[in-house]
Amino acid sequence: MKHIDIPPFWLVLFIAAAWVLGQAVATPRFLPVFFTGLGVLLVLGGFLLMLWSVLTMVRAKTTPVPRRDPSAIVTSGPFSFSRNPIYLGDAMILLGLILWWQAWIALILVPIFMLLIQGRFILDEEKRLASQFGDDFLRYCGNTRRWI
């Protein structure tokens, strides 16, 4: 489990669950062009946010890999409005696909996914940053929300 306990694994698992739920439970389809378009925008926006976040971390010479010790606190770019823009991008992708598929029953998976990611990854990352960077990290937390 250690080798597959990474955020992309959980995202793929939740995407698969959303698709299965959408197929298993008949839900009304309304405004298909609007929700398809909104879903596509969220998926693309999620990927772009993740890419921007990783590039910002690489420029700051720190790792984007969970459970590795960071070498810097990144507060610029997407990290200026979210302490976890990569995970926010994951949630945007999940929500976007659910809207695209109009799998309304699967909307409940988005907050569950966010809680799981927070419990499995974010809290540990925050502890590492707090122990490594102390007051600088705490000031950042006071100015920037965990998700958005």
d(CA 105, CA 143): 35
Residues 3, 73, 9: CA angle, nearest 5 degrees: 20
Residue 28's pLDDT is: 83
User: Residue 73: which region, alpha, beta or left (left: phi > 0; alpha: psi -120 to 50)?
Assistant: beta
pLDDT (0 to 100) of residue 2: 60
Residues of the chain scoring pLDDT < 70: 1-3
Query: Which of 142, 147, 55, 35 lies closest to 95 in space, CA to CA?
Result: 35
Question: Model confidence over 38-67: pLDDT tens digits?
Answer: 999 999 999 999 999 999 999 999 999 988
Spatial contact of 50 and 87, defined as CB atoms under 8 Å apart: no
Enter the tokens of residue 126. 């925050």
Q: What is the pLDDT of residue 123?
A: 96
Structure confidence at residue 1 (pLDDT): 57
Contact by Cβ (8 Å): 112, 120: no
